[in-house]
Amino acid sequence: MAADRKLDHLSHVQMFSSLNKKELGMISRAADVVKVPAGTEIVTEGTIGHEFYLVMAGEAAVRRNGRKVTALGPGRYFGELALLDKGPRSATVIAETNMDLVVIGQREFMGVLDEVPAVAHKLLVSMAARLREADTKAVSH
């Protein structure tokens, strides 16, 4: 049951939207569901990231330079760039309530890409679309 719930949540992530059911299942098997208590600092701005997080339940605050910039609830995700590089986190994310998160580590994710290279191409196209959308929003503000 938990595996079905995890797969369902992953299927709604824009980054994974072009994957077929088999490919999505591979991503799901590479992921874990983690319970995080309220008040936990999940990621810290400026530190090196190695995981992607998808909120299944609960709420988190995103802070940059100590200021809250947004809130994340079910269906929202963060840390996708950490799957591709070892760059620093751009924000701190703190659990405001108890949370259930889908967590995918960089190593496990790269294992899926090594096994099925076509997944990498699909993800690149999806991430390019997200980057283009973010760029358009930045220009219009």
**20 vs 61: CA distance, rounded Å:** 32
Looking at the domain assignment, is residue 105 inside a domain?
yes
> Using H for helix, E for strand and C for coil, what is the string for 5-53?
HHHHHHHCCHHHCCCCHHHHHHHHHHEEEEEECCCCEEECCCCECCEEE
Tokens of 4: 């079905």
Looking at the domain assignment, is residue 95 inside a domain?
yes
Q: What is the mean pLDDT of residues 2-6?
A: 78
Looking at the domain assignment, is residue 75 inside a domain?
yes
The terminus-to-terminus CA distance of the chain in angstroms comes to 43
- Residue 63: beta bridge partners? 68, 92
Looking at the domain assignment, is residue 42 inside a domain?
yes
Asked if residue 15 has pLDDT above 90, the reply is no
Q: What is the pLDDT of residue 82?
A: 82
Q: What is the mean pLDDT of residues 68-73?
A: 96
Looking at the domain assignment, is residue 141 inside a domain?
no
Q: What is the pLDDT of residues 83-107, one digit of tens each?
A: 888 889 999 999 999 999 999 999 9
What is the number of structural domains in the chain?
1
Calculate the average pLDDT of the chain. Answer: 89
Residue 7: which domain range? 2-136
| pTM: predicted TM-score of the whole model, two decimal places | 0.86
Q: The domain spanning residue 23 has which CATH number?
A: 2.60.120.10
